[in-house]
Each structure stands twice: as C-alpha cells, then as structure tokens.
Amino acid sequence: MVWKNKFHERINELWERAKEQDRKLTQTEYARRLGVTRNAFMGWLRGVGQPDTDGLVRIASTENVSLSWLLGDERHFDKNELHQDEQVMLQIYRSISSERKEDLMALAKHFQMRDRDNGCST
C-alpha cells in the first residue's frame, strides 16, 4: 500500500460529523474543542498544514478515532470500533461532571438489567 497522508480529508469528515450532531456548532467552538485556534483549524480544512504529534493525539482522543485513521489508514476495522451513536455517548460522558457520570452509569445499569429481564439482546 502506498501511504498518503489524508489528514485534511479526515478533519473535514470529523467537522461534518460534529455539525450533524450539533447544527449550532461553530468552527471556533470546534477548534477550541480540539485545542487550536479557528485559523489553524480553517487551514487544516483547506489542506494547509496539520497539527504536531501532540495535536494529532489530542484530536484522535477527543474524537475517539485512531491516529492511523486520522492520518489516512483505510483498512476496515473490527466490530470493536465504536459506532457513531456510541461515539456521541462517549463524548457526552467525557463532558459531564463526576457526579453526573455516576448517575448516568446507574441509569445505564438499570436499562441493562431491564433488557436482561425482558430477554432483549444487543
């Protein structure tokens, strides 16, 4: 396989996903979430430059994607890769207080027990 860095394509894809999840999200807010300025983010979208290694790691972690995918790896991954709705839930979980995380976990366990009692499977 010939390696081709596709960071600017992938950052555009992540930006589109983020806008689908929150139609009011601005480029400035998204850039802040990634830990950069709006100007840097806009450059990436146009294919001008890319973050340093720490920035790539931060983006991959924030958006719950692999570094290899972020840079252009096109191999298909196994079923352990998170689906879109799971990524959203993880982002929500990471953004709430510890107290709310405990509440959310209790609620999730409650639903899990109800599904198990009703014979539901995933």
Q: Where are the domains of the chain?
A: 1-81, 82-122
Percent of the chain topping pLDDT 70: 88
Q: What is the pLDDT of residue 39?
A: 96
Round to whole Å and give the CA distance between 1 and 46: 25
Instruction: Match domain 1-81 to its CATH number in 1.20.1050.10, 3.40.309.10, 3.40.50.1980, 1.10.260.40.
Output: 1.10.260.40
CA nearest to 28, candidates 43, 18, 38:
38
Mean pLDDT of 18-33: 94
Predicted confidence (pLDDT) at residue 37 exceeds the cutoff of 70: yes
* Residue with more model confidence, 59 or 76: 59
Gyration radius (Cα) of the chain, Å? 17
Instruction: Report the predicted TM-score, pTM, of the whole model to 2 decimal places.
Output: 0.61
CA nearest to 82, candidates 74, 70, 90:
90
101: its two tokens? 């995380």
Round to whole Å and give the CA distance between 101 and 9: 33
Mean pLDDT of 96-103: 91
Q: How many CA atoms lie within 13 A of 27 on its CB side?
A: 11
Instruction: Compute the C-alpha angle 6/79/95, nearest 5°.
Output: 70
